[in-house]
Chains A and B, each alone.
Chain A
Amino acid sequence: MAEVFIKVCPVLENQRLAERTFLMRLQAPEIAAVAKPGQFIMVQTGPGWRQGGPLLRRPFSLHRLGPSGEISLLYRVVGMGTRLMERMDPGDKLEVVGPLGRGFNLHLGDTQAYLAAGGIGLAPMIALAEALTGQPSKFFYGARTSDEVDAFLGLLGQASYAGEIIVISEDGLRFPKGMVTEPLAAALKAGPASIFACGPRPMLAQVAVLAREAGSPAQVSLEAHMACGLGACLSCAVELASSGRDEPVYARACVEGPVFSAEEVRW
């Protein structure tokens, strides 16, 4: 079994990037040393249930790995756990378990890589972009607002991403209006590519269709409710395409995923 750690990690930075969207940097040298893009960690987001905090840890994909033993998380404030994280300052500590799960397969041969991120689905894609340095690539990002696009461009700038960047926003204020699958579909008309995607499930389902039509392999990072993150609880079930009508077949997002081949998944 790959190495997994339980560590109390100091917060180095917790920066607001856009509305409800934060970037947290943690000191976690053991995890940073072995983690792969697409893997995740389980985070105890607060003081625990005895102090009125959440009982269970929450899964977060690794947004960036290193340098110097750091990991970072890109998160959107949606519930009690992330509301507690939002209030944390440098020097505060969080207990995390990781790295967990199956990350992206980076063996692409000589194909071009297309990275597609929708909203907070951007989280695991920056680590991926950094790992694909040297590979010809296009990065498609769909945001709700133009402010989010600005934050994204800043993150990508820090990651020294050298490929082409295509952004689109739902508000259409300062960037083209639309959904991320539209420019992705247009690009795939020019020929197949290796697709990597993370975002809302309807977006990923659409990516799966586009990939099949274009004859392109696609890897998708799925979100799931989890209790343990280690494969014991069976909470994070993902129905597989190999399911029969009466006999569904489930995989665990925490062990067999969170990155799946798009054709493995029943959409």
Chain B
Amino acid sequence: MVARPDMSVDLGRLVLKNPVLAASGTFGYGQELADFCDPALLGAVVVKGLSLKPWPGNPPPRIVETTAGMLNAIGLQNVGLESFLKDKLPWLVERGVTVVVNILGESVKEYAALAEGLGEAEGVAMIEINISCPNVAAGGLAFGASPEDTARVVQAVVEAARQPIMVKLTPMVSDIVTVAQAAVEAGADVISLINTIPAMAVDLENRRPALKNVVGGLSGPAIKPVALRLVWQVAQAVHVPVVGGGGIMTAEDALEFLLVGARAVQVGTASFVDPRSPLKILEGIEAYFRKNNIPELSVWAGSLNME
């Protein structure tokens, strides 16, 4: 049995102590769930999607539970760059958290301005470009829908930023591989996928859409097989590290994503079900490696047997 497997992982220019990240939008700014899950113990925390100015978000109801999943239309409510740097980031830095900031905007210029603003801050380890959120009228998903638009945003952010860049892809394209390749060619250091899948639920009793926004993003166990397939496809097609996510609830789920080629994983909806989930998943992966004599993560990652 391996006494202590090496769980560290390099994501391009950034080395993480372990491969479990809290996914953007599901872990707040790190403080909210800290009583149950110390964010400093995770590979990284991807904080709530950040825009240049504060965004109010969508009117309620904003979530509804569906079969083995949940549908949300939060609408990217966030405090904006200035307040993030002043009120949220210092706590994370003080705590020793590896911080990844997920950014979003309505124009290429806004993405670049955010990257520039974050570049001056101490304690932001990486920037994740969100070009895949389905819940806003402008921006977001629109940029991730084509390889050309993806490349435009990525290139602008890479030029403006000091930190390594991770690009989060949407599953809502006919060929995700070409979008991933475009992001890499434009300078992305890491690819992450998937974001939620646009979906709908109906309140039968009131004959209304269950969400005020009508359409929301589906997450949770229901989307895991879709995410697994897409991560597998992208991991084979690009030479940069891939971070996989979508319905990871347990260590076994995470091990599957790592097996198909993800170098790290993002845990999302599971944190709502149980705020201890990211740590439980990390501990579960470690226990599995110990039990199966896997000395380090890199031995496992991408070792899917195709014969």
Contacts and interface: CB of A to CB of B under 8 A. Distances in A.
B93 interface: no
A9 B37 CA distance: 21
A233 B272 contact: yes
B68 A227 contact: no
Interface secondary structure of A, over-half rule: loop
A19 B272 CA distance: 32
Contacts of B27: 232
Given A231-B32, A234-B57, A234-B74, A225 B68 contact: no
A250 B57 contact: yes
Nearest to A58: B65
B68 A237 contact: no
Interface in B69-106: 69-70, 72, 74, 77
Given A228-B272, A231-B28, A55 B220 contact: yes
B65 A55 contact: yes
A231 B34 CA distance: 11
Contact of B36 (A6, A225, A231): A6
B64 A234 contact: no
Contacts of A97: 275
Contacts of A1: 35
Given A49-B68, A250-B57, A237 B77 contact: yes
Given A55-B70, A231-B28, A235-B72, A225 B61 contact: yes
Given A56-B70, A230-B32, A235 B62 contact: yes
B12 interface: no
Contact of B59 (A55, A56, A248): A248
Interface residues on B, range: 20 to 34
Given A55-B221, A234-B77, A235-B72, A228 B61 contact: no
Nearest to B22: A232
Residue among A1, A54, A231, A234 having the largest count of chain B Cβ atoms under 10 Å: A234
B192 interface: no
A55 B63 contact: no
A1 B36 CA distance: 12
A73 interface: no
Contact of A230 (B25, B48, B275): B275
A12 interface: no
A225 B32 contact: no
A127 to B, nearest CB: 23
Given A55-B68, A231-B28, A237-B60, 6 more contacts: A55-B65, A228-B271, A233-B63, A237-B62, A248-B57, A250-B60
Interface of B: 25-28, 32-33, 35-36, 48, 56-65, 68-70, 72, 74, 77, 220-221, 269, 271-276
